[in-house]
A and B are shown apart, each in its own frame.
Chain A
Amino acid sequence: MAENISDLVLDGNAAAGCLHEIFASDITIAQIQCDACASARPVGSLRLYAISMGAVLRCPHCDGVMMRVVNTPHGRWFEMSGTRCLKF
């Protein structure tokens, strides 16, 4: 498949399936606030970097990492220290 890194950048909307396994409801329509720049927007409008081990979601305004999902043989890690809050 694509080798070009820009081909791997998608919209947060494309992470809905992956995030749905963590959050019971569709989180891509929730408002999320970036801890680095304080801008707020729907989760579906973040930048998704779809890596082979999971997903990295970045703020489209400041490029700060807001959510990371990593699948390992021992479980699924979800980290969101770059996120200030979520509003449902």
Chain B
Amino acid sequence: MTVTDAATAPGKRLEWQVAEVRDIVIETPRVKSFLLQVNDWRGHLPGQHVDIKLTAEDGYHAQRSYSIASAPENELVTLTVECIAGGEVSPYLFGELCHGDQFQLRGPIGGYFVWTVAKRGPLYLIAGGSGIVPLMAMLRHRERRKVPVPTALLYSSRSLEDVIYQEELDAMAQHDRNLHVTHTLTRKQPDGWAGHRGRVDREMLAKASFPLSSKQNTFVCGPTPFVEHVSNVLVELGHDALAIRTERFGPTGE
């Protein structure tokens, strides 16, 4: 399936499908990736999400949205899940879900927070914590397509051990002169840490950005206060508010 015939084709109903866990990757002490086989998956666009539904033995349903971490070019659909203490769904996914288990999933969903190599202009990605997940789908897609779109990622994590996809990001940036990855660690920095310290601020955002005249596509993803702060500062710095796409993490209310 190619990117162009995926997902946003009009007139298709969203239906629940069965996803089966084929592999599990431990990304950080609190984050796991689930590689899923979804029959009749019709492909997705980088940045899209899925809804998943869990049904308890008494019939109780819980439904949540999760971003897709894999590129459309990858064979399996990857969801990366952070274990939220006190959460209803993520502790189950994190602690119980095993190889071969099945659950219900529908998607891909959403055509707004989406980027493909067909878009013009540089790509500016800003992630807070597990907000990296949909942005990683964009980076993986960009790498698989080998299209040298100038790209900057500014990624805020609590500590080095909380950096999701760390090795893969390092490897991507090492052999790609058009990709700049900047980390900031907010709570704990290892000895000799050369990157930024503390929360994403005006200076970091200005430094990582492409020139305002470059017509960059900006995607911000993370917890609500992070997204609010980053998008406000970007607008103060002169970025066009309508060119900043945001995705806040939180419960979906369904």
Chain A residues in contact with chain B, CB under 8 A? 1-2, 6-14, 16-18, 20-21, 24-26, 28-29, 41-45, 50-52, 54-55
Complex alpha-carbon distance, A2 and B227, angstroms: 17
Taking a contact as CB atoms under 8 Å apart, the answer to whether B246 and A11 are in contact is yes
**Closest partner residue, chain B, to A28 (CB atom):** B112
Q: Which of B110, B246, B247, B248 contacts A26 (CB under 8 A)?
A: B110
Q: Which of A6, A20, A25, A50 contacts B254 (CB under 8 A)?
A: A50
Count residues on chain B whose CB falls below 8 Å from chain A CBs.
35
Measured between C-beta atoms, what is the minimum distance from A70 to chain B in Å?
12
Complex alpha-carbon distance, A21 and B12, angstroms: 10
Complex alpha-carbon distance, A41 and B84, angstroms: 32
Chain B residues in contact with chain A, CB under 8 A? 7-8, 10-14, 49, 51, 65, 84, 86-88, 106-107, 109-113, 224-225, 227, 242, 245-254
Q: Given A2-B250, A25-B11, are A17 and B113 also a contact pair (CB < 8 Å)?
A: no
Taking a contact as CB atoms under 8 Å apart, the answer to whether A50 and B242 are in contact is no
Taking a contact as CB atoms under 8 Å apart, the answer to whether B11 and A13 are in contact is no
Measured between C-beta atoms, what is the minimum distance from B91 to chain A in Å?
11
Complex alpha-carbon distance, A9 and B8, angstroms: 25
Complex alpha-carbon distance, A10 and B242, angstroms: 17
**Closest partner residue, chain B, to A1 (CB atom):** B251
Q: Given A10-B248, A17-B65, are A24 and B112 also a contact pair (CB < 8 Å)?
A: no
Complex alpha-carbon distance, A12 and B49, angstroms: 13
Complex alpha-carbon distance, A6 and B227, angstroms: 12
Q: Given A14-B65, A25-B11, are A44 and B253 also a contact pair (CB < 8 Å)?
A: no
A-B contact pairs, 6 of them (CB 8 A): A8-B253, A10-B252, A14-B252, A24-B11, A24-B13, A28-B111
Taking a contact as CB atoms under 8 Å apart, the answer to whether A45 and B110 are in contact is no
Chain B neighbourhood of A17, CB < 8 A: 14, 51, 65, 106-107, 109-110, 252, 254
